[in-house]
Amino acid sequence: MIKVVLLGSGNVAYHLALALNSAEHVELIQRYSRNATNSILFDSSIPHTCDLETLLTADVYIIAIKDEAIASISEKISHLKGLVIHTSGTVPMHALDSKLKRGVLYPVQSLSIKQHIEFNEVPLVIEAAKNKDLELLHQLASQLSDHIFNLDSVARKKLHISAVFANNFSNYMFTCAQTLCQKNQIPFEVLRPLILETGKKIQYMDPLEAQTGPARRNDQQVIEKHLGQLSGEHKEIYEIVTAAISKTYQPK
């Protein structure tokens, strides 16, 4: 049985608490958060504290709080003997206090308290300084998810850049689509199923293969017509992304 203390009360902490609670060989023995806000959302049977001095002895302490606060909270608990991990995609492992046994468990998913998710399908990226710690972390992670990846802090940083494209930037393309629809009194509802399918396709197909549209066909006639109807950022983005797609499929 792996004993775990969870620090935090946000989106990631919420989903981790649910997953930890349902894991067979894990015992979530305590939750910490600065104040009791949000605690109503968590299983009330998990003992809660607002005082870092009263943390129980555990095998693993999971810091699931804001990136900016990770280093300072780890200093305050630097006397702990258990493995201390954070859950951030961008903060390097060595941001944790050097006196600690350190590690990272980063769930690669957009998590929201509002939204149910099958946690066992969430990819978990793990890292630890020592082999023994990585072993324990792997044991813990495999209790939570079926998809575990070992990546060091350098690779995790690169992964985060990729995630910005995959999630943030693709979402902005949806925003452009919605803005254009609004401008032209077209209900955005028309595009929602297409957007869902765009993401679904990538579950069994590489995006390189899934690409369609005028840029892929290098259909200059349609491209020119579209550009003639766009302005500002939309036009700029259309030009640059179209050029990049064309180059990918019609290399000179």
Site for a copy of itself in 141-180 (CB under 8 A): 147, 149, 151, 155, 157-159, 161-178, 180
Residue with Cβ nearer a copy of itself (37 or 175): 175
Residue with Cβ nearer a copy of itself (25 or 247): 247
Q: Can you tell me which of 57, 72, 190, 220 binds a copy of itself, judged by CB under 8 A?
A: 190
Total residues interacting with a copy of itself, rule: CB under 8 A: 85
Binding to a copy of itself by residue 36, rule CB under 8 A?
A: no
Binding to a copy of itself by residue 196, rule CB under 8 A?
A: yes
Beta pairing partners, 28? 4
Q: Can you tell me which of 40, 131, 193, 231 binds a copy of itself, judged by CB under 8 A?
A: 193
Judged by CB under 8 A, the chain residues 80 through 139 that form the site for a copy of itself are 90, 108-110, 115, 117, 121-123, 125
Residue with Cβ nearer a copy of itself (78 or 220): 220
206: buried, middle or exposed (CB in 10 Å: 19+, 13-18, 0-12)? exposed
For the bound state, the minimum distance from the C-beta of residue 45 to a copy of itself, rounded and expressed in Å, comes to 29
Residue with Cβ nearer a copy of itself (118 or 135): 118
Contact 127, 153 (CB under 8 A): yes
Residue with Cβ nearer a copy of itself (72 or 168): 168
Binding to a copy of itself by residue 199, rule CB under 8 A?
A: yes
Amino acid type, 19: A
Interface characters, 208-227, with a copy of itself (x: CB under 8 A): x-xxxxxxx-----x--xx-
For the bound state, the minimum distance from the C-beta of residue 37 to a copy of itself, rounded and expressed in Å, comes to 21
Contact 157, 91 (CB under 8 A): no
For the bound state, the minimum distance from the C-beta of residue 99 to a copy of itself, rounded and expressed in Å, comes to 26
For the bound state, the minimum distance from the C-beta of residue 92 to a copy of itself, rounded and expressed in Å, comes to 11
Residue 160, φ and ψ in degrees, nearest 5: -65, -40
The Cα 69–Cα 234 span in angstroms is 37
